[in-house]
Structure 1
Amino acid sequence: MSDLLRLATAGSVDDGKSTLVGRLLYDTKSVLADTLDAVHRASADRGLTTPDLSLLVDGLRSEREQGITIDVAYRYFATPKRSFVLADTPGHVQYTRNTVTGASTAQLGVLLVDARKGVVEQTRRHAAVLALLGVPRLVLAVNKIDLVDYDEVTFSRIAKEFTAHATALGFPEDAVVEIPVSALAGDNVVERSDKTPWYSGPTLLEHLETVPVEPDPHDAPFRFPVQYVIRPRTAEYPDYRGYAGQVAAGTVRVGDEITVLPSGLRSTVEKIDTADGPLEEAAAGQSVTLLLAHDLDIARGDLIASGDAPKVTDEFEATVCWLAEKALTPGARVLVKHGTRTVQAIVTELRNRFDEQKLASTESPGSLGLNEIGQVSVRTAEPVPVDDYSRNRRTGAFLVIDASDGSTLAAGLVGAPLPELDGVDSCTGGGNSAQDSHALVSPGP
C-alpha cells in the first residue's frame, strides 16, 4: 500500500467542504498551535462559541469575508498509517476551473452533499468532472446528517441515487463509498458516531487510511518537458549544456537511453544536476537538469522520453472543458499549450457534447458554451508528442489559449472518451446542454 494519498474535496456551495477538511486537520492534530489560536480569535470575533474549522482552510481574506471557498487550498496531514495531500476545491460554478485544478492529480474524490438537499446539479457535475479526469475512486460524504436527525432513510435514499449516477459515469460500484457525517459535530469523520448505530461502514478517516491507491506516477514511462536550455559559458563550465525542467512522469537514471521529441533524436543521460548537487536518478515531481552524452539540437518545448515514447502527431481527438464566455465553434483558431510547448492550432470539428445532468450526448453540436464538455478534433501547426490521458495525465493534458489576449479558453484531455452511456439514448441535432469542467491547469503540490 502506498504511504501517500492525494485526494480532493468537491461539492456544492455551503455543503461544508472547508469545515470537513478543517475537522480532519483538527481531529488528527495536524494544526499548529498558533494557527489554532488565530482561528479561535477569528471565531470569537464573529460571536461564535466554538471554533469555525473552515477557517483552517479558507486562507484568502476574500474567502473568509464571503464565507466561500474561491481558490484551491492544499493541505498536508498524516496519521501513523498514511500521509495525505488534500485539495479543498471551490463549490461555486464560477470557480470550476479551480475545482478541476485540484482534482486533476487526485487518486480519490470526496464529494459532499447536504443531507437536507441530497444530490443536486453541482453534485452530478462534479462527479462527471472526476470521471472525466480519471479519478478512480469516490467517497460521498452525506454531510449535516445531524440536521436530519441522523435519519437512516434519508441517507439511504441519497446514497442510492448517487451510486446510480456514478456507475452510469463509469465508476465501478466497489469504487464508490457513502458515509453519513457531520463535519461540524465530528460524527463519523475521525471518530465513529454513536448517533448512527444503523451505519456499519468506516469513518471517513478510516476509509482514507485503507483505500487502495492507483500506481505511483513514478511507475509510468519517463517524460520530461524541457523548460530551459542552460549554457553558462563560463571559464569553469565552458562546454556545459543542460536541459532543465520538472520530471512529469516516471524515473530517469544516469545511463538511461532517451529519445528527444518531436525530432526523434537519441542519446544517453550522462548526468543529473540539481541545486543541491548531482543525483543518480530523479523521479516524477523533481526539478532537475539533464546532461546528455551527445550535443543535440534541443530547445524549450521539446520532450525527453524513454521507454514507450508518446506519439508525435499534428492531429488528435480530445475531450475539452470549455471555460470561456465566448462559445467554441468549428474552425476556431487557437493556441494549444502542451507541456512547455505552445503551438498554433485549429479546432476542426465538434464531434459531440456531453450533458452530465441527463447523461446524454449531442452529436455534431454547433458550439460549446461556458462550462460545457465535448469531444473535438484538433489540428496543430507543428507536430506535438502526446500521450493518451488515460496513460499519462501530465502529457495527455493540454490548455486551449486565446491567441489575442493569452486567456485560457479550455482544458483538454487527449483521446479521453466521454462516459459510456449504458441504457441512455443519445440525442442528435442542436440545442444546449450542460455545464462544466477544466483539466490539469497545474499539477498541484
Structure 2
Amino acid sequence: MAAFFATAQTVQAFPMGISTFSLTSVTSTPYVIGVVKVDSLSIGQDVLPSGSYIGSGNASLQLNAVMEGRFWAQDVALFHEVSPNSFEVTMVVNFWNFSGPVSFPGNKSTYQGLGVLCYVGPTFTVSTPFNISLFMNSSGGLKFGYIYAGARHVFFELPTIGNFTVGGLSVVGVPNDLEFVWGGPGGGSVAQMSISATETLYYWTGGRLVEPPVAFSTGFDTAEAVEGVYEVANLTELFSPSVSQTAGPDDQEVLWPVPPTMILNYSSNTALVALSLNGRPLPYQEVELETITITGPKVEYEEYTSPQGVAVFNQVNSSLFVTVFPGNYTLAPTFSVSSPGLSSFFHSLTHGYQSLTSFLKSYNYNHALKSFFRGFKYEQTTNYSPTELLALYVGALAVGVVLAVVLKERHE
C-alpha cells in the first residue's frame, strides 16, 4: 500500500487521530484496537499533496502498526460518501515487508524491493451517528478485523509474524508507531473533512487493554492526511483519556502527557499550591515540597490536593524550596520554585515533555509512507503516473469498483 515517494507537500495537512510512539522505550503487544464514535461526518474534495484535485467524498480510517520493526500492517476502512450522512465502507488490508518480497500467497507485488500484499474485504453502509472499531491480533496468526453494530468480524488472516512494536525505528527508518488516523484515499492524498467524533486507542499489555501513556494528534508512518480536523484531548478521566475531533485547523499536538498549571503562594510559613489543567482544578494529586541540600533535592513534605485542587504545606520554615508534581499518567511532571535561582535544579523534570514536543515539531513527514489501496478485481501492469492511478482509484470507488495495479516508479 505504501510507496516511498519523497515529494514536497504544499498542502499543510496531517493524518489526524491518535498515535503513540515512545522516545525512550519499546513495547511489544499482540493486540491493538482503535475505537471511534462519529456523530457527524462530511468529506469534501480529495487532493494530492501538490494541491491537484482528484475527486470528492473519499477518505480512509487507518489502524497502522509496525511488527518487529520489519513489517507494516494496515487495517483500513475506506469511506465513500454516497449521500449526506451515509457512507459506503470497504475494508482493506495492506501488509508490507520492509526487508523483501512477501512470501504469503495472495494478491501481492514488489515495489523498490519492498513486498506488499493487498486484500479487499467486505463493503457495508453506515449512517451517522455510528461507532466503528478496527483491530489487529497477532496471537495464533495475524488477524485483521472490525467491530460494527455490535458484531465483531475477522475478515482476513495471515500466518503468525510476531508482535506489534511501539517505540524505536523500523529497518527503513520510520518510527515504530501505533496510529489510528484519518487520511486521504491513497497516494499521500489529502481529504477535506468536517467531523464531530471521539477516538480512543488501546493495546494489550500486562493482561489487559490499556490506553497509551503517550499520545500525539498525528500519525508518523502514513502520508495520507486530512484538512479541517481539529483535536483536543479529553483528560477529565486521567486514566481513561480520549480525543475529541471537531471542525477546525489540524495541527501537531502532544495530546498527553501534558504538564498542568501549578501556582505557588507562600506566606507566614505556609505554602499553598494550586494545581489545574485548562482551568479545571485537579483534586487528589500528590505534590511534594523539596529543599536543596548539599547532596541535591530532598523531599521534606508530601501532600495531596483538596477537592478544589489545592495542597497546603504548613510550618515551612525555609523560604528556599520547590514544589513538585511528579506526574500522573496523562499529566506530565511540573514544578514551581520559591526563588528563581532554584529552577536549574529541576529543569530535568520537564525534559520528557519538552522532548516530545521537540520530536513532534521537528519530524519530517516526507519520510512517511504513501499508500495506494489496491484490490484483486482487476490487475494490470500500467504506465500511468501515480496521479492518474489515484484518479482512477477514486473514480473506481464511486462506482463500487476497486482497482488492483502494479505501480511503476515515479520520477520527480
| Short-chain TM bin | under 0.3
Q: TM-score, normalised by structure 2?
A: 0.26
The structure in which a higher percent of residues are strand is: 2
